Amino acid sequence: MNSEAIFEKINGEIKDKILEAAIAAPRRISVKVERGQLLAVLAYLKDQLQFTHLATISGVDLGENFEVIYHLSNDTTTILLRILTPRAEPKIPSVCQVIPGAILYERELQDMFGLLVENIPDPRRLLLCDDWPQGQYPLRKDWKFNRPAEIIPGGK
């Protein structure tokens, strides 16, 4: 099934679950959904249209909101499944019940953006050390790096 046929199926069968869909480029479809519809749309894409490969999950700090982008693909097409979550309440549902391999990407979002991934099977830190300061998220636009004083061995 080509990208245009997939696009038509999405617009026809789950139109009530999506906010918008567009063909972003050849063989690439962008679909925006609400947080509450994420699992239903993801299950549809996986079960009905064979989008079984999750390449990554990206996070973007947009200021007032965070955008989370799920990069899914099948044999012919890539879908960018997008959700927004407000900075004031940065929560997203875990998609591990639909795609178990998503756990590493979800743990990365927790570490680097401070997003709360609800019902994640293993919420431990992935990239940051255990003594990393709480409330410090390196990929947020408002994060400031405070360089520690340099220590020169044998110096003053």
Q: What CATH number should be reported for the domain holding residue 82?
A: 3.30.460.80
Average pLDDT rounded to a whole number, residues 7-32: 95
131 has pLDDT over 90? no
Please tell me the total count of domains within the chain: 1
Burial of 18 (0-12, 13-18, 19+ CB in 10 A): middle
Range of the domain at 41: 3-118
Judge whether 46 lies within some domain: yes
27 has pLDDT over 80? yes
Q: What is the pTM of this model?
A: 0.90
Judge whether 128 lies within some domain: no
Question: What pLDDT does 155 receive?
Answer: 59
Judge whether 139 lies within some domain: no
Judge whether 152 lies within some domain: no
Helix (H) or strand (E) holding 42: helix 38-49
Judge whether 130 lies within some domain: no
Judge whether 93 lies within some domain: yes
**pLDDT band of 145, cuts 50, 70, 90:** confident
